[in-house]
Homo-oligomer: A and B are copies of this chain.
Amino acid sequence: MAPMREPIDFYFDFLSSYGYFASLRIEQLAARHGRAVRWHSMLLGVSVMKTMGLKPLLETPLKRDYVLRDTARYMRRHQLELRRKLTDPFMDPRAAARGFYWVQRQRPGQESHFARLAFDRYWREGRDLGAPAQVAALAPEIGLDPAAMLEGIEGEQARTDLRDAVTASLARGVFGSPFFFIDGEPFWGSDRLEQLDEWLGCGGW
């Protein structure tokens, strides 16, 4: 029997378009190399804005124009169409992030399924997910009860779980979305998926 290999850790913020793009490819990429993926919801507002002291990408002169163009190019290349525009106002991502950790406690292993649903709802369908009720409305699609999920998102446990997860991500050096670890090696950015692929294929260098 082949030895078990460590899952790939995948960190993302629901309001990150690059995080969304990576979420669409990481499972397939990992599977090609016999790896599972461990999903982690994090908050750019804490890592980039509070800890690093930087502005959001779209509020940074010069980078704003580049990111808009780069994103459009990525979408053409991967044939993606999004109803949400990058320039639309951002949601508060905490409800979705708490929902993620609530699902992880209720149905361990199903949190990545929830994350894909939430990403899809927000970016592809362009619907709002800033309010707990909007997040809880996804519950039936993973066989859970919306009322229970709403209570969970607003409860102490989910808040604590998110806070602990964000603290742990910072302690590990995670700052962007997407961010990955393969056997302890960090990779930042959706433009590093090809490098991840190469790393997994040859065992690193």
| Residues of chain A at the chain B interface (Cβ within 8 Å) | 47, 51-55, 60-63, 65-66, 69-70, 73, 76-77, 170, 173-175, 185-186, 188-189, 191-192, 194-195, 205
Contact = CB atoms under 8 A, between A and B. Distances in A.
Contacts of A173: 62, 65-66
Contacts of A61: 51-53
B76 A205 contact: yes
21 contacts: A47-B62, A51-B61, A51-B62, A52-B60, A52-B62, A53-B55, A53-B61, A54-B54, A62-B170, A62-B174, A63-B175, A66-B173, A66-B188, A69-B186, A70-B186, A73-B185, A76-B205, A77-B205, A191-B192, A191-B195, A194-B194
How many copies are assembled?
2
B54 A175 contact: no
Given A51-B61, A54-B55, A66-B173, 5 more contacts: A52-B63, A62-B174, A66-B175, A77-B205, A191-B192
Contacts of A69: 186
A192 B73 CA distance: 13
